[in-house]
Amino acid sequence: MNAAGHSLNMILDNGHWASRPIELAFGATILIILYTLATVFYNLFLHPLCRIPGPPLAKVSRLWARVGNFHGRKSERVHAAHQTYGPVVRVGPNEISFADPAAVREIYTSDVFVKEESFYRAKRIFHENHMFSFRDPEAHKQRRKLLSRGFSQAAMLDFEPNMSSIIATMLDQWAAKAVDGPVNAYPWAHWLGFDIVYNLMFDENPGSVRAGEPHEVMSYLRAWKPTFIYKEFMPSLEQWGPYVPGRVGDYFRDVQVWKDYAVKIVQSCREKGAKTPFLRSVLNGDKDAFLGRPLTNSELAEECMGGMFGGSGTTANTFIYILHACLQQPDIVKKLKMELNEHFPSAKTVPDYKTCANLPYLQAVINETLRLYPTIIATLPRTARETASVTGITVPKGTIVGTQNYTIHRNPVAYPDAEVFRPERWLEKEKEQARKDAWTPFSVGSRKCVGINLAQMELSKLVAAFFRRFDGYIDPSVTESDMRMYDTFNAGPAGAKLLIHLSEERY
């Protein structure tokens, strides 16, 4: 008998194994090796996706994508794989990425595909689902129905004066600080995004921009990102995370503090009768039709936390990329300023949204930034509930599928010279439909961004207010690697800084 057979015999033998730890370890190792080899063989040659091209490591292990995640480069990896292997690529043993814009609608507007479990379960914040993390379509539909009026266009127009006031405060601060040297726009943009979404939810300005420093909740909010990356690897950390010693546990403990804070503030809004549409209806007893009852403070707190995260970093990072892209191209700034000067006589008044929404060049700049620097950059994974077809490719039941904005937004048919930041392309008639199909920064279908009205209003007013008031240039110390989109689902500049020198317009 060979060594492996001997060891296996030992394992199955009648109890002698307990006194033979070396043989036991050897036998277990052999079993693991055999299992791994069998899995690799199956994934490469027998799996239903075995004919779909892709990097060999991706075909046999999810590690290929997850290592990319750890380095903030998953979307770059997937994009490179598309360039090598074509429009349909196997990016995990059971996962396909599509590069064709037609796949976006086929996947994200179909009832056949639901949010993928391990990815979205990890996005629960603290022990509850929220609008973003729900997988059950009916539970999600009813939650979204309950909350979406808080993000409607009418609600946003009601909220606009508060938004203008926060924007004006930030730009006043920048004007004052600019005399001492460059302003680091990055943290300010994040404070502003946070203050706006917090104000919208809780009817109270948390004052980060006024104080020129982050509100305490922002540090808890930052802690959530590492927790969801860890939870994707090890889902049980959702329960055990807060008890883990050291830095990893600190992240989970911070999220717990954040949840306690959010529950308290929801309770206090309930007591004082918050006026904003986001909380008013839910606190007045409107029911979640799926649950058949109003939301508890804990459920509502989780929704607010999801909104704080989804609504602050996204707009902030987009604004940073707008500044970075435009301030390097004086021609773009010149055209933008011409349009703004024509419509807004005062340099210091924050422009109104209705006018901004109809300014073609301003909107072209924003669209082009969301295209080339999509803050939700990576695959939004979905699982097929039954066997289906995407762009003519058969997708067996249980397969994970997705598209990523990084690739869709670089589609060579819709966007010739896709790597070039060129707002003018949005003003051209040629390829209009192709551009429309290949521009999905907010996703599409029933799970598309619920905060789109807020995001568009915030970006329009902020960009208009900034360029109407300031001239500027980027400090030479800011490098391309500082600005690399570091992709951990919500992508932002790797260097977390953007130093700009500012001078004010007189009128």
Report in angstroms the alpha-carbon separations of 325 from 92, 112, 314, 474, 480.
34, 39, 17, 10, 11
CB-closest chain residue to ligand HEM: 451
Phi, psi of 438 (to 5 degrees): -105, 30
Are 275 and 415 contacting, i.e. CB atoms less than 8 angstroms apart? no
For ligand HEM, the closer CB: 61 or 110: 110
Instruction: Please state the closest distance from residue 307 (CB atom) to ligand HEM, in A.
Output: 4
CB nearer ligand HEM, residue 26 or residue 134: 134
At closest approach, how far in Å is the CB of 383 from ligand HEM? 13
Residue 461: name the closest of 118, 130, 167, 127 by CA.
167
Please name the amino acid found at residue 251.
Y
Nearer to ligand HEM, 43 or 315 (CB): 315
CB 318 → ligand HEM: shortest distance, Å? 4
Cβ atoms 486, 494 nearer than 8 A: yes
Residue 156 CB, shortest distance to ligand HEM, in Å, is: 10
How far CA 123 is from CA of 82, 207, 226, 227, 370, in Å, comes to 27, 27, 11, 9, 23
Do 468 and 351 form a contact (C-beta atoms < 8 A)?
yes
Amino acid identity, position 224: W
* Secondary element (H or E) of residue 205: none
CB of 222 to ligand HEM, least distance (A): 17
Structure tokens at 444: 């599409």
**Chain positions contacting ligand HEM, by CB under 6 A:** 131-132, 144, 197, 306-307, 310-311, 314-315, 318, 375-376, 380, 441-443, 447, 449-451, 454-455
Nearer residue to ligand HEM within complex by CB, 110 or 443: 443
Shortest separation between residue 319's beta carbon and ligand HEM, angstroms: 9
Q: Which is nearer to ligand HEM, 442 or 486 (CB)?
A: 442
Residue 181 gets which letter from DSSP? S
CB nearer to ligand HEM: give 54 or 451. 451
Min dist CB 302 to ligand HEM, Å, is 11
In the bound state with ligand HEM, the residue whose beta carbon lies nearer, of 43 and 208, is: 208
The beta-strand segments (E) located in 235-392 are 382-384, 388-390
Our CB check for ligand HEM shows the closer of 145 and 354 to be 145
Cα separation values, 193 from 127, 138, 218, 480, Å: 25, 31, 11, 24
Min CB(316)–ligand HEM separation in Å: 9
From the CB of 382, what's the least distance to ligand HEM, in Å?
8
Which CB, 201 or 332, lies closer to ligand HEM? 201
Distance CA 98, CA 329 (A): 33
Tell me whether strands 470-474 and 499-504 are parallel, antiparallel or unpaired: antiparallel
Contact 90, 54 (CB under 8 A): yes
